[in-house]
Amino acid sequence: MALREIIILPDKRLRLVSEPVKTVDAEVRALVEDMFETMYEAPGIGLAAIQVAVPRRIVTMDLAKKDDPKDPKVYINPEILWSSEETGTYEEGCLSIPEFYEEVERPARVKVKYIDLEGQAQEVEASGLLATCLQHEIDHLNGVLFIDHISKLKRDRVKKRFAKTAKRTTE
């Protein structure tokens, strides 16, 4: 296992559409282990492979509360099959947009199909935080960031702030 570097806005790779995983092999399992280590260290509750600069359709997630045992979940090639018309709003943040949080409205419930680490097809119906996190991470796989769901004014401010920070660190 190894910690990977999380890429940060305005890194253009965050806008890439990730490639499907063809087979769940040792390389995929090693990436998943690295992603969990990176996600827990950050700390975060979800991570898409593109956030560690690997454009593959893989998501790791753990929504366990601080004092509860870890509950790691892996979603390979996740795809939203259905989403409710009813919406819910959560304050979202992102490891690739550190220290910025904003209310985002999304469908309150979703049904997602995916492949697990054993290569088996699965489906999950989700609501609440799980539904929000699945949509947030699947967005990453499609090159979409949670700031794309907020007002243009707020989004432009965030982009400008992160562009300035990136410019300072490269000078």
Cα Rg of the chain (Å, integer): 16
Residue among 19, 27, 137, 171 flagged as catalytic: 137
Gap between the Cα atoms of 74 and 84, Å rounded: 23
Q: What is the dihedral of CA 87, 91, 95, 96, to 10 degrees?
A: 70
Which amino acid is present at 11? D
Strands 73-83, 58-61: pairing is antiparallel
φ/ψ of residue 7, rounded to 5: -80, 145
Sign for the pseudo-dihedral over CA of 106, 108, 111, 115: positive
Judge whether 27 counts as a catalytic residue.
Answer: no
Active-site residues, by number, are: 137
